[in-house]
Structure 1
Amino acid sequence: MHAVVFNGPHDVAVREVAEPRITDPMDALVAVRAAAVCGSDLWTYRGMASVAPGARIGHEFLGQVVDTGSLTDQVRVGDWVVAPFRYSDGQCEYCRAGLTSSCTHGGFWGREVLDAGQGELVRVPFADSTLVRIGDGDEPDESMLADLLTLSDVYPTGTHAVVKAGLDAYSSVVVIGDGAVGLSAVMAARRAGADEVIVLGSAHPDRRQLALTVGADRFISVRGADAVQQVADITHGAMVSHVVECVGTQGSFDTAFGVVRDGGTVSYVGLPHQVSIDPARLFMHNITLTGGMCPARVYMPLLMDEVLAGRSHPGRVFTATLPLDRVGRAYELMDRRESIKCLLTVGA
């Protein structure tokens, strides 16, 4: 079968690899129909992650179950499903507490298991507790693939950020980041009833326009102290009680702490890279720092219902669609910020 392989910095390509098979009675095999390139994949692509050349890549995918182990009975052959970015057993103490991202027997695609999402077939451990059926398991309409694919990662992650931030009706929030997760957080903030959503992003007009389209009230395209000053001007110096950080750099964290008011909350879901945080700053200003890796599997059923009912359209974060064999171009587009997020079509 064919799958995307990381060959080294700025080099990903489709290669012929061994076809996966059922190795555990709780496994399922999924024939991938659509996959995605994630912003976190770019850390690997740029050679900034501890991923060895030759590794599979990709953790967002949906498709059809084509085989199952003898103990798999919740998902069946023929079902159309979405996979979260991390598999989980559904039984450990963390899963029972709603923290599937910390599952003691779970793992990541392409790391704890060989298969990854950007390929034709994936072996899914703990299939019953990992996979989420699309409706009754029937093939979804082509027009819904992009919306459904966001349930693998970015839409639950944006939702998790808003939930952990404690955002509720009539609150104001600053969202730092204009990538797919930041835009998903904007949509989640609107769903939570936010009174004002301010996005701190880049100078790319397409990102500004999409942010405003999906629910942002204001879009600030400067950074650092200038961004903090603009938020101060907008809020008449009061700043905001809720900040959602969706980037993961030192600069984005510094900005988050600059725009949050005393007693406020910073919720971070951007994968941190070489970030240093001063606890004394949090202490002196009574700032709550929360967030972390999203337990996507917990959020997926509710968000699935919203998507299938047509109440949410998170697939707007995909601004390019390419076939799997053009994966190199997809990574280039995102690396150069020419596309917010790329969808890869696989199979039929």
Structure 2
Amino acid sequence: MRAAVYYGPEDVRVESVPDPELASPTDAIVRVTHTAVCGSDPWFYRGESDREEGSRVGHEPMGIVEEVGDDVRSVDPGDRVFAPFTISCGYCEFCRKGLHTSCVNGDSWGGENGGGQGEYVRCPHADGTLVRVPDRHADDEDTLEALMPLTDVMGTGHHAAVSAGVEAGSTCAVVGDGAVGLCGVLAARRLGAERIVAIGHHEDRLDIAERFGATDLVTARGDEAIERVNEMTHGGVNHVLECVGAASAMETATGVCRPGGTVGYVGVPHGMEGGLDVFDFFGDNISLRGGVAPVRAYAEELMADVLQGTLDPSPVFTKTVDLEGVPEGYRAMHEREAVKVLVKP
């Protein structure tokens, strides 16, 4: 089969690799029909995070089940499924409490199971990982593209909103205009936020934020952004979604959070070599909640809204490539020419 493989900074190639095979009775083989390039992928692409050369890449697969192990009960060959960015068993202590990213039997998509950006993947713990799409929606392309962000960015934006305590009537701020931040806006609107301030630097992305429900747009940076948000909200907001991970984004998040408020953080931390200054949290009794999003815990809830037509995060895909175009997809993400790249093998 063909799959994307990482060989070093700015060097992702699509090449022939062995097809994955069932290795356990709990496995499933999935033929990938849709996948994506994630906003976290450019970190290793730029050489700013470690990744083994020669490893397969991608972690957002959707496709058709081709084969299942003897112990798999929730899916059958021919079923349309999608999978979160981490593999989880579904039955351990942490999966049972909805913290699938801490699964004691968990795994990633980057090993010999095929990688998410390829023609096939092997899914260990198929019953705990794969989400089956109802047959009546299994071939509707618009629906499938709306479901694709549930593999990562929509669930992650939702986790930020939930962690920040967003509820009906809330005023909140979203720091970051990448795919996760945009989905955070959509999640905040879904949870009933009355006012949503989107903070970002790219007009085209903030246009999507406005389409998703942002009521106020702030393009300033640093102290100027903090000043602007605090001025327009008369002292800041009680709920902040931090969707970037950079130290500067966390500083903005704490700067616009009212005393006693909550920052829900889901941005992959980077640029924090000096550590996180917790004094602002301490001094204003600001709570910090979040972390890597257990998107499997939210999958059915969000899918129900997509299928009834009340949730559509697909506009975060601003570029589409085929499998051979994955290297171009990485370049476009690296150059910020795309919010998120959809891949149709």
* TM-score where L is the length of structure 2: 0.97
Distance in structure 2 (CA, Å) of the matches to 1:30 and 1:249: 35
Partner residue of 1:150? 149
Aligned positions, number: 343
Q: 1:128 to 1:137 in 2, by over 3 A?
A: farther
CA contact (8 A) 2:198 2:216 kept: yes
SS at structure 2 position matched to 1:86: coil
Partner residue of 1:12? 12
Distance in structure 2 (CA, Å) of the matches to 1:145 and 1:324: 17
Partner residue of 2:321? 322
1:188-245 residue CA offsets vs partner (Å, 9 max, x unmatched)? 100111111001101x221121111111111111110010011122012x11111000
Letter in 1 for 2:208: L
1:87-114 residue CA offsets vs partner (Å, 9 max, x unmatched)? 1111110011111110000021105x54
CA contact (8 A) 1:180 1:317 kept: yes
Range moving further from structure 2, 178-187 or 138-147: 138-147
Flag structure 2 segments of 5+ consecutive residues without an equivalent: none
| Equivalent residues in 2 for 1:269-308, closer than 5 Å | 269-275=266-272, 276-308=275-307
| Equivalent residues in 2 for 1:122-141, closer than 5 Å | 122-136=121-135, 139-141=138-140
Partner residue of 1:121? 120
Flag structure 1 segments of 5+ consecutive residues without an equivalent: none
Aligned partner of 1:218 among 216, 230, 239: 216
Partner residue of 1:22? 22
Q: 1:297 to 1:122 in 2, by over 3 A?
A: same
Partner residue of 1:3? 3
Distance in structure 1 (CA, Å) of the matches to 2:51 and 2:114: 14
Distance in structure 1 (CA, Å) of the matches to 2:224 and 2:91: 48
SS at structure 2 position matched to 1:14: strand
Letter in 1 for 2:309: G
CA-CA distance at 1:53 after TM superposition: 1.2
SS at structure 2 position matched to 1:64: strand
Partner residue of 1:75? 75
Distance in structure 2 (CA, Å) of the matches to 1:326 and 1:115: 18
CA contact (8 A) 2:19 2:114 kept: no
CA-CA distance at 1:280 after TM superposition: 2.9
Partner residue of 2:242? 245
Distance in structure 2 (CA, Å) of the matches to 1:151 and 1:122: 18
CA contact (8 A) 2:137 2:143 kept: no
- State yes or no: 1:255 paired with 2:218: no
CA contact (8 A) 2:148 2:314 kept: yes
Partner residue of 1:183? 182
CA-CA distance at 1:17 after TM superposition: 0.4
Distance in structure 2 (CA, Å) of the matches to 1:254 and 1:130: 35
SS at structure 2 position matched to 1:170: coil
Distance in structure 1 (CA, Å) of the matches to 2:279 and 2:231: 26
- State yes or no: 1:166 paired with 2:165: yes
1:87-145 residue CA offsets vs partner (Å, 9 max, x unmatched)? 1111110011111110000021105x542110000000010110000014863311222
Distance in structure 1 (CA, Å) of the matches to 2:221 and 2:271: 19
1:147-199 residue CA offsets vs partner (Å, 9 max, x unmatched)? 11111001111111101111111111110010110010101100111111001
